[in-house]
Structure 1
């Protein structure tokens, strides 16, 4: 597990930002592939992976909200799977990788289940800005940063190397709505 002390950091515009490692990026690319798979199945492009402390992928999923149940987020599925299959110490040392920052519902599930670090490719702020640019009406739930919901969460993201690819998936999803 990567602890806050282990992570490299740099200062960007006066704020500290954590550098996402190549290992992180490998898992994030898997999430983007899952998001693409969701889009290909007519769903919103979100994908997530749960990785154990030893680096093993434990669970992976993508969005399943196209059927009308808007709680079928992959991050929520990860929290439920982890609660059923992992001991609390295993949950705490696992990492959740995701193509998009958790919504408040998924953040809360993450916190209640006691999962470890979260790494995301794009932030809620980025998605909100893109949706506004495209003239979309905001959703029924306020987009909040994960740490607004779970203050002690260890969170790294966004990954600027993946932002354009994720943005394009969301732009393409406009045509499936």
Structure 2
């Protein structure tokens, strides 16, 4: 297990993920946004699409599927996934099976669980396992303290919770 703090150069990409998460909320979905980068280029980006009833339509899962179809094994290993929220176990497994490289996230799964409990909301139906418990060989960086308040506010807004 290798967990690090995001580097300053990661922040612009994480900010883009937050913008995608903000867009997801605007269109009535949950606040998650992610992108896939290789050699400084954004190859794919997406946001949550679970509001239609398919709770597997996470952007990190879409990235894994896209990468499997469009990149070589070497390219996948060299790619970086940036995301507004730490991968759920489903997405971490997809990431590991596809053989993608480093993951950098803005807010952690345990943070989200704590916020939801603080707001009196139900826990998610899947345990908030750390990425390293599901895909132990993946290098992970997160959370990004600079973005936590903004991510928390997006989750509150999406859940209909008014913050003080």
TM range (shorter): over 0.9
Q: What is the SS of the residue equivalent to 1:51?
A: strand
1:85 to 61, 70, 73: 70
1:74 aligns with 2:59: yes
Q: What is the SS of the residue equivalent to 1:119?
A: strand
Q: What is the SS of the residue equivalent to 1:44?
A: coil
Match of 2:17 in 1: 31
1:60 to 45, 50, 58: 45
Match of 1:7 in 2: none
1:44 to 12, 23, 30: 30
Deviations 1:61-101 (A, max 9, x none): 00000000000000000000000000000000000000000
Distance 2:40 2:157 in 1: 32
Q: What is the SS of the residue equivalent to 2:145?
A: coil
* Structure 1 or 2: more helix by fraction: 2
Q: What are structure 2's unaligned runs of at least 5 residues?
A: none
Distance 2:100 2:4 in 1: 19
Taking the TM superposition and a 5 Å limit, the aligned residue runs for 1:1-177 are 18-52=4-38, 54-175=39-160
**Cα RMSD, aligned residues only:** 1.3
Distance 1:108 1:151 in 2: 10
Structure number with higher relative contact order (C-alpha < 8 Å, ≥ 6 residues apart): 2
Structure 1 runs of 4+ aligned residues shifted over 3 Å read none
Q: What are structure 1's unaligned runs of at least 5 residues?
A: 5-16
Count of paired positions = 160
Which is greater in Rg? Answer: 1
Distance 2:107 2:156 in 1: 14
Q: TM-score if structure 1 supplies the norm length?
A: 0.88
Shift of 1:19: 3.6
